[in-house]
């Protein structure tokens, strides 16, 4: 039997200025799984994530988290339900140190000051490499280090559901597992549910339990990563 669903969309349609970017999307994220979402540039992956995290109001359809409809809720409300997002692009302020970025992040989601030290220690246990650059301005860090900071910041709220929008963008494929293996380990240890948008398809499928493919705003395929090992099948879809 499959795991229960933690996040569902039903017939979700959304876009910009009256032009739909996603059309009639119905997808389920189950508990304790990494669901990999792949598709070409412009397929609508980021638009879907924005709707899930309350950054864009859909034109039609619903989003449900743990059985509660959240379609028109704000990002802050959705964070309170245990969801966090690693946005597309590194999203770190270049002039702030990593420590300052973490402080701001915790302030934004309302983590009490007395719990903040413990939260940072927890994140540094998962991503120990960050310890070496905690006091450096983010703008002086490498792309991979900045991505790690962006993931670390999302983890500070101790989410049960993590939405990640191309966390490995701009990195050499060989750095993918350095960045994502600790997150897969955390997910398996603590039972997180992760929706992972990736262009780095081969590497992403290695750490995913299921996959969905989007094309031109539509969901065109759903299945197991092993079914995409066949290159022809993948090329046909992607
Ligand atoms: P990528 O892999 O390049 O990030 P994506 O699959 O995430 O692409 P989206 O960013 O969701 O795709 O874009 C879907 C469509 O919506 C594209 O045609 C894009 O041009 C359009 N779009 C995205 N953001 C906006 C915006 N802010 N205003 C207008 N159109 C937008």
Between CA 231 and CA 86 the distance in angstroms is: 29
When pLDDT is cut at 50, 70 and 90, the band that residue 169 belongs to is confident
- This prediction's pTM: 0.95
Q: Does the beta carbon of 41 sit less than 6 angstroms from any atom of ligand 1? A: yes
Mutate which of 17, 43, 199 for ligand 1? The one with the most ligand atoms within 8 Å of its CB, which is 43
Nearest alpha carbon to residue 165 among 49, 11, 52 = 49
Ligand 1 mean position to 43 CA, how many Å?
Answer: 7
Ligand 1 mean position to 71 CA, how many Å?
Answer: 20
Ligand 1 mean position to 42 CA, how many Å?
Answer: 5
Closest residue CA from atom 26 of ligand 1: 16
Q: Does the beta carbon of 21 sit less than 6 angstroms from any atom of ligand 1? A: yes
Contacts of residue 124, defined as CB under 8 A and 6 or more positions apart, other chains included, come to 130, 131, 134, 152
Q: What pLDDT does 234 receive? A: 75
Q: What pLDDT does 92 receive? A: 81
Q: Does the beta carbon of 160 sit less than 6 angstroms from any atom of ligand 1? A: no
When pLDDT is cut at 50, 70 and 90, the band that residue 228 belongs to is confident
- How do residues 19-52 score in pLDDT, each as one tens digit? 999 999 999 999 999 999 999 999 999 999 999 9
Report residue 54 CA to chain centroid gap. 14
Q: What pLDDT does 49 receive? A: 97
Alpha-carbon separation of residue 227 from 53, 124, 193, 231 (angstroms): 29, 35, 21, 10
**With left for phi above 0 and alpha for psi between -120 and 50, is residue 57 left, alpha or beta?**
beta
Q: Does the beta carbon of 87 sit less than 6 angstroms from any atom of ligand 1? A: no
Ligand 1 mean position to 231 CA, how many Å?
Answer: 26
Contact between residue 66 and residue 52 where contact means Cβ atoms under 8 Å apart: no
Whose tokens are 């992403």? That residue is 204
Mutate which of 12, 27, 44 for ligand 1? The one with the most ligand atoms within 8 Å of its CB, which is 44
Q: Does the beta carbon of 39 sit less than 6 angstroms from any atom of ligand 1? A: yes
What percentage of the chain reaches a pLDDT higher than 70? 99
Is residue 1 predicted with pLDDT exceeding 70? no
Between CA 108 and CA 100 the distance in angstroms is: 12
Contact between residue 197 and residue 166 where contact means Cβ atoms under 8 Å apart: yes
Token output for 31: 């508990």
Q: What pLDDT does 233 receive? A: 75
- How do residues 190-224 score in pLDDT, each as one tens digit? 999 999 999 889 899 999 999 999 999 999 999 99
- How do residues 59-70 score in pLDDT, each as one tens digit? 999 999 999 999
């Amino acid at each position: 039997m499959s795991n229960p669903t933690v996040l569902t969309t039903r017939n979700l349609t959304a876009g910009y200025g009256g032009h739909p970017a996603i059309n009639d999307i119905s997808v389920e994220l189950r508990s304790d799984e990494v669901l990999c979402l792949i598709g070409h540039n412009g397929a609508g992956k980021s638009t879907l994530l924005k709707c899930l995290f309350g950054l864009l109001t859909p034109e039609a359809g619903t989003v449900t988290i743990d059985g509660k409809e959240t379609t028109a809720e704000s990002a802050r409300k959705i964070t309170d339900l245990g969801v966090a997002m690693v946005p597309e692009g590194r999203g770190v302020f270049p002039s702030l140190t990593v420590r300052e970025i973490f402080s701001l992040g915790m302030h934004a989601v309302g983590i009490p000051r007395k719990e903040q030290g413990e939260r940072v220690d927890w994140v540094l246990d998962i991503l120990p490499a960050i310890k070496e650059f905690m006091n450096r301005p983010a703008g002086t860090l490498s792309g991979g280090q900045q991505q790690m900071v962006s993931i670390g910041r999302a983890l500070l709220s101790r989410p049960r559901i993590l939405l990640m929008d191309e966390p490995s963008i701009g990195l050499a494929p060989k750095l993918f597992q350095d960045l994502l293996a600790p997150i897969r380990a955390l997910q398996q240890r603590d039972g997180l549910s992760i929706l992972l948008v990736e262009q780095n398809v081969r590497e992403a499928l290695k750490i995913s339990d299921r996959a969905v493919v989007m094309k031109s705003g539509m969901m065109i395929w759903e299945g197991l990563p092993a079914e995409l090992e066949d290159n022809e099948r993948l090329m046909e879809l992607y």
